[in-house]
Amino acid sequence: MDYFMRFVFKPNTSRLERLARTTLLTAALVSATGCATQQDPWLTGRWVDLTHSFSAATVYWPTSTPFRLEPVFVGTTAKGYHYEAYEFRAAEHGGTHLDAPNHFSDNAPAVDQIPLDRLIGPAVVIDVSSKAVENREYRASLDDLAAWEKDHGKIPEQAIVLVRTGYDRFWPDPARYLGTAERGEAAVAKLHFPGLDPDAARWLVEQRRVKAVGLDTASIDYGQSSHFETHRILSQKRIPIFENVARLGELPAAGAIVMALPMKIEGGSGAPLRIIAWVPEKDR
């Protein structure tokens, strides 16, 4: 219990952050024990899995090694019991995954060095899907952030900002999701999908001090980017990035709590990510 109290009431955390921590712990305990009651809205809600499954169909960058799952043994052993074991291989960056700050910033934290506090917190969902589906080059802008704040209030410090482009509807068709199904270096120039504008990224880290940023496309920079400015801005501020996130349309604009835990790869620049969200009943 002492550990939980220290987690919730960690010094220098905002009221919203403490509420997020309390909600997350409560949700976990409720799921484990089944002790929810209708009298407490923080004890009822649902988990949303924001992760695409990894398989041979998983979308990867055209130059990256795709996911492979190969059997070591599947069947009945000589002693008469069933046994299954597999080996997998894949690039760090593909499928639903995390970009660590060292991906685009020197001497920045690797995957295993990212504090857990950066990966758990209240979610803000910026929905630009109506614009992005019409324009594959769309970049979520300062105007989109201003529109969100006009409707929902100021983006709180230490929020996890998730940009919804709606492109998860095209998963796992690479031609529709990435703009091309071709592979290899030449295919990179044919990528067309939305991202986050560098000015918006800079504003989020400097003016709202967010803890992480993610979206439902293959890169936080739009497909035709060649300088990856948004990656660099976020990485230099040690902001983790979540890419190829799924089902953001099932989250409210505000009120959900996100937990995004990557495979803990020592020294890694990225890793497969299991990202989930808790949506309290009142926000359904």
pLDDT tens by residue, 243-252: 999 999 999 9
Given the structure tokens 């857990």, which residue do they identify?
116
Q: Locate 260 and state its tokens.
A: 């995004």
Question: What pLDDT was estimated at residue 1?
Answer: 45
> Is a pLDDT exceeding 80 seen at residue 6?
no
Mean pLDDT, rounded, of the chain: 91
The fraction of the chain above a pLDDT of 90, given in percent, is: 83
Residues linked to residue 260 through DSSP beta bridges, in sequence order:
275
Q: Is cis: bond before 262, omega within 30 of 0?
A: no
- From the list 242, 263, 195, the residue with the least C-alpha distance to 50 is 242
Residues linked to residue 257 through DSSP beta bridges, in sequence order:
122, 278
Q: Locate 277 and state its tokens.
A: 């969200």
pLDDT tens by residue, 166-209: 999 999 999 999 999 999 999 999 999 999 999 999 999 999 99
Give the residue extent of every domain in the chain. Answer: 41-59+92-280
pLDDT bucket at 27, cuts 50 / 70 / 90: low
> Is a pLDDT exceeding 50 seen at residue 4?
no
Q: CA angle, 132 as apex, 143 and 152 as ends, to 5°?
A: 40
pLDDT tens by residue, 218-236: 999 999 999 999 999 999 9
Give Cα 98 to chain centroid, integer Å.
Answer: 7
In the chain, how many H helices and how many E strands? Answer: 7, 12
Q: How far is CA 273 from CA 89, 101, 129, 236, in A?
A: 15, 15, 23, 21
Q: What is the DSSP code string of 265-284? A: -TT-SEEEEEEEEEEEGGG-
This prediction has a pTM of 0.87
CB-count exposure of residue 202 (10 Å: 0-12, 13-18, 19+): middle
* Assigned CATH class of 41-59+92-280: alpha beta
